[in-house]
Amino acid sequence: MPSCCSQCQGIEKEFNEAVARRELAQYRRRGPAGTTRKLLRALRAEDLEGRILLDIGGGVGVIQHELLTSGVERAVSVDASSAYLAAAQEEARRRGLERRVTYVHGDFVQVAEDVPPADIVTLDKVICCYDDMPSLVSRAAGRTRRVLGAVYPRDTWWTRVGVGFLNLIMRLRRSPFRSFVHPAQEIDAILRSHGLTLRSRGGTLLWLVAVYARTSAALASSPALAASATAASR
């Protein structure tokens, strides 16, 4: 299993400036991609007005840009790819949103304690890029005041074959980056252990799109999150 350091190095290599420029150009032409669009649709069914978004592995910032124009007040973008962060900032400036977004470069698991809780937390095709899934999902859930949305691969034989082939290509290219198919039931168990319950689940043949919400009882049982949510709503 690759170390966090080598995986982050792989992310910098694979999700470089050329990839970021291409994805930003595609977003400008076509809007959000299919599974991201599904996640956004589910999140827009929630109360977004005045909320704070934490977008983990936000790429070129699609979720940030879309939700900041749908009622979200502020966003924090954490990404291990400096090229993605630069592209997200460029698009935010173009849209006049740059003052409403804070950018953090790094491995979320390592910087999570320095990132304040948010009403909405998103991991769009991020869980599959991280070897230590329990740490990533636990820390994301721990920063979730109200809603967590995620897109990750279905745990099927065909996705495992596909990811195995992609990882073979990475090895042949001598890239430290690897992709992972983590068991959906384990992801679900971790989120539920943090007081989140499944709100909706859909997706495609390859991807799951899941939204979890924190119950009022779970929020009340966590004084820190409850105080944070109260302060944010003022």
Split into its structural domains, the chain has a count of 1
66 pLDDT more than 80: yes
Domain that holds residue 108: 4-233
Residue 5's pLDDT is: 64
Q: What is the mean pLDDT of residues 204-212?
A: 96
For 28, 83, 88, 94, 230, the CA distances from 91, given in Å and listed in that order, are 9, 13, 5, 5, 31
pLDDT at 218: 53
Residues 97-136: tens digit of each pLDDT: 999 999 999 999 999 999 999 999 999 999 999 999 999 9
pLDDT at residue 55 tops 50: yes
Residues 6+ apart with CB under 8 A from 68: 53, 75, 95, 97, 100, 101
What pLDDT band is residue 213 in, cutting at 50, 70 and 90? Answer: very high
Read off the pLDDT of each residue in 204-217 and give the average, rounded to a whole number. 89
Residue 222 has pLDDT above 90, yes or no: no
How high does pLDDT run on average in the chain? 91
Phi, psi of 103 (to 5 degrees): -110, 135
Local confidence band at 3 (pLDDT 50, 70, 90 cut-offs): very low
- pLDDT band per the 50, 70, 90 thresholds, residue 1: very low
Mean pLDDT, rounded, for 12-40? 95
Residue given tokens 């007005």 in the structure block: 49
Domain CATH number, residue 165: 3.40.50.150
Summarize pLDDT for 185-201 with one digit per residue, the tens. Answer: 999 999 999 999 999 99
Environment class of residue 185 by beta-carbon count within 10 Å: exposed (0-12), middle (13-18) or buried (19+)? exposed
pLDDT (0 to 100) of residue 215:
77
**43-70: average pLDDT:** 96
| Predicted pLDDT at 13 | 86
